[in-house]
């Protein structure tokens, strides 16, 4: 707006600029500075040369200087945002590693060159995304200790405690996307940093936001491709061999010589059945799983979806099927140990299929692993490794449970349910004795030793079992019925009760209180 009658064609040869209300106003002059400054001005920016006896500060700019760039520099300095020239140079420098595909490693390398000090990028859970080469062991150890202290604050966001921690000589800046905190930038300049350094860190933060978005998009695309591949393997039997091999190679896995499937879940051991889907925990698990794969079975296929992990382990070297399966069990056990160390308090359960040499049968291998996992859960194998081979007759009974649950319940009621009711009513141990006796292949002495009781006590209990169930354990057909009854009981979610400690002690010393 302009006042009525104002002369809009009047030439302008000077402008005052400053931060509102600060009293620190600059006079911009397109020529030599005046002898005196207007009221309220504290310094001048002029194209012409000032007198050596000038009573006020003068910033002299070259005649070729562009006023737009000069104004940007001054505005940035007044707002504390750093010189736009530094920001522009940093922005251009950070474009190179992104375009070259060097990601965060390239960004922190460029940042170290710009700032002259080590730089690290952390994600929102303070896991390290990348660190520049100048980060020595002492600084790295200090960073790890600061991260540990921040995580000790509890389940809330760890970024706040990390930013507030007293770390002399360390500069931290949150990586912000609007109001959302995506991570933290860390630098070790030693002394306080100036506006130019702030500008570099600000541009690094913007580049980090873009890189995280790119990674998120790539991961989402790859996850969709992996999920589609698994779904098609499972839902479409008889896929062409070459199609399976080609798609697996596109996803980084070579299954031309066969593979073994693993299905696993992360669960809360205090609340069985509740899958862990917390992004912080799953990200740490997947990072650790990736490291275990890289060290022990490189080239494996890994997919994560809603609390369930799927793995395809391609055949290695010239191992036969038993060799692959044995090595896969060892790999799974190492993954379990690594998970306990990295994500404590979480139970990882893994189920393994048999090895298949035919890539087109990988859908069947995935089904074997899923079946073994379901059976393992029914049997209380939380946090363990379960193989399809060891499920034995359980897999047949499980299919009966899935298709005809009433039949399995009826079979359990005809064989074991009466013994369970008798134990509950009389505080006896018939079911535990039966299970132990069958586990020890009918050896009375071994059974008595496991139960801390006398052989005559075991014999008496077996007789009671025969009287109550009508099944004589000394007959092979009846023994098989009782064994299947115990398996049905476990699949139906009824664990075998352990003998009371008091009874074990009395049995061991007197042989009394038999069932």
pLDDT tens digits, residue range 72-87?
Answer: 666 655 555 455 667 7
Please provide residue 301's backbone torsions phi and psi, each rounded to the nearest 5 degrees. Answer: -95, 130
Do residues 386 and 283 both lie within one domain?
A: yes
Residue 492 pLDDT: 85
Do residues 71 and 91 both lie within one domain?
A: no
Domain count, the chain: 4
pLDDT tens digits, residue range 93-152?
Answer: 888 888 888 999 999 999 999 899 999 999 988 889 999 999 999 999 999 999 999 988
Do residues 385 and 408 both lie within one domain?
A: no
DSSP at 16? E
Q: Return the bridge partners of 17, or none.
A: 26
Residue 204 pLDDT: 93
Q: Kindly indicate the confidence band of residue 198, based on its pLDDT and cuts at 50, 70 and 90.
A: confident
pLDDT tens digits, residue range 305-333?
Answer: 888 999 999 998 778 888 899 999 999 99
Residue 20 lies in a domain: yes
Residue 396 lies in a domain: no
Do residues 91 and 28 both lie within one domain?
A: no
Asked whether the beta carbons of 446 and 438 are under 8 A apart, the reply is: no
User: Tokens 């300095």 correspond to what residue?
Assistant: 77
Residue 240 pLDDT: 92
What Cα–Cα distance (Å) separates residue 438 from each residue in 396, 443, 485? 19, 8, 12
Do residues 325 and 380 both lie within one domain?
A: yes
* Domain hosting residue 471, numbered range: 403-509
**Pairing of the two strands 119-123 and 58-60:** unpaired
pLDDT tens digits, residue range 214-228?
Answer: 988 888 899 899 999
User: What CATH number did the domain enclosing 322 receive?
Assistant: 3.30.70.270
Residue 236 lies in a domain: no
Asked whether the beta carbons of 71 and 87 are under 8 A apart, the reply is: no
What residue spans of 168-278 are helical by DSSP H?
195-235, 241-250
Residue range 294-299: mean pLDDT, rounded: 94
Residue 221 lies in a domain: no
Residue 307 sits at the vertex; the CA angle it makes with 386 and 338, to the nearest 5 degrees, is 60
Do residues 72 and 95 both lie within one domain?
A: no
Question: What is the layout of strands, in order, in the sheet containing 385-387?
Answer: 301-305, 308-314, 259-267, 347-352, 385-387
Q: Is 177 helix (H, G, I), strand (E, B) or coil?
A: strand
Residue 362 lies in a domain: yes
C-alpha span between 5 and 181 (Å, rounded):
52
pLDDT tens digits, residue range 144-179?
Answer: 999 999 988 765 678 999 999 988 889 999 999 988
Do residues 65 and 91 both lie within one domain?
A: no
Do residues 382 and 266 both lie within one domain?
A: yes
Residue range 175-188: mean pLDDT, rounded: 92
Do residues 350 and 411 both lie within one domain?
A: no
Residue 78 pLDDT: 56
366, 390, 414: which is the final residue of a domain?
Answer: 390
Residue 2 lies in a domain: no
């Amino acid at each position: 707006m302009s006042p009525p009658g104002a002369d809009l064609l009047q030439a302008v040869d000077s402008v005052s600029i400053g931060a509102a209300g600060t009293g620190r106003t600059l006079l911009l002059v397109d020529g030599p500075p005046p002898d005196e400054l207007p009221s309220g001005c504290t310094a001048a920016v002029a194209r012409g040369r000032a007198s050596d006896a000038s009573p006020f500060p003068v910033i002299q700019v070259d005649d070729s200087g562009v006023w737009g760039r000069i104004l940007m520099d001054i505005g940035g300095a007044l707002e504390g945002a750093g010189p736009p020239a530094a920001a522009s140079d940093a922005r251009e420098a950070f474009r190179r590693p992104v375009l070259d595909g060097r990601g965060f490693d390239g960004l922190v390398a460029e940042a170290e060159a710009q700032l002259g000090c080590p730089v690290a990028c952390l994600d929102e859970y303070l896991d390290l995304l990348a660190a520049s080469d100048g980060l020595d062991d002492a600084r790295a150890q200090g960073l790890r200790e600061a991260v540990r202290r921040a995580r000790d604050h509890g389940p809330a966001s760890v970024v706040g405690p990390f930013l507030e921690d007293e770390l002399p000589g360390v500069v931290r800046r949150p990586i912000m996307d609007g109001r959302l905190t995506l991570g933290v930038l860390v630098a070790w300049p030693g002394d306080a940093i100036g506006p130019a350094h702030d500008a570099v860190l600000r541009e690094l933060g913007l580049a980090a936001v873009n890189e995280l978005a790119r990674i998120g998009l790539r991961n989402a695309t790859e996850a969709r491709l992996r999920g589609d591949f698994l779904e098609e393997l499972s839902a479409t039997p008889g896929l062409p061999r070459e199609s399976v091999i080609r798609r697996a190679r596109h996803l980084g896995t070579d299954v031309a010589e066969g593979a073994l499937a693993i299905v696993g879940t992360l669960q809360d051991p205090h609340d069985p059945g509740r899958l862990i889907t917390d992004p912080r925990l799953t990200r740490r698990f997947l990072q650790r799983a990736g490291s275990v794969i890289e060290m022990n079975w490189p080239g494996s296929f890994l997919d994560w979806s809603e609390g369930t992990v799927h793995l395809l382990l391609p055949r290695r070297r010239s191992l036969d099927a038993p060799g692959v399966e044995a090595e896969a069990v060892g790999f799974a056990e190492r993954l379990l140990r690594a998970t306990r160390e990295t994500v404590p308090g979480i139970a990882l359960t893994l189920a393994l299929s048999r090895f298949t040499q035919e890539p087109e049968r990988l859908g069947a291998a995935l089904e074997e692993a899923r079946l073994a996992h379901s059976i393992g859960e029914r049997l209380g194998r939380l946090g363990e490794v379960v193989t399809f081979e060891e499920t034995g007759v359980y897999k047949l009974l499980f299919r009966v449970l899935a298709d005809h649950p009433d039949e399995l319940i009826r079979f359990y009621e005809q064989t074991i349910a009466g013994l369970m009711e008798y134990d509950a009513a009389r505080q006896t141990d018939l079911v535990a004795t039966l299970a132990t006796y069958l586990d020890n292949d009918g050896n009375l002495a071994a059974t008595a030793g496991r139960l801390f009781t006398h052989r005559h006590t075991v014999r008496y209990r077996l007789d009671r079992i025969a009287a109550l169930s009508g099944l004589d354990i000394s007959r092979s057909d009846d023994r098989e019925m009782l064994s299947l009854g115990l398996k049905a009981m476990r699949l139906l979610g009824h664990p075998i009760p352990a003998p009371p400690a008091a009874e074990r002690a009395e049995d061991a010393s007197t042989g009394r209180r038999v069932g």
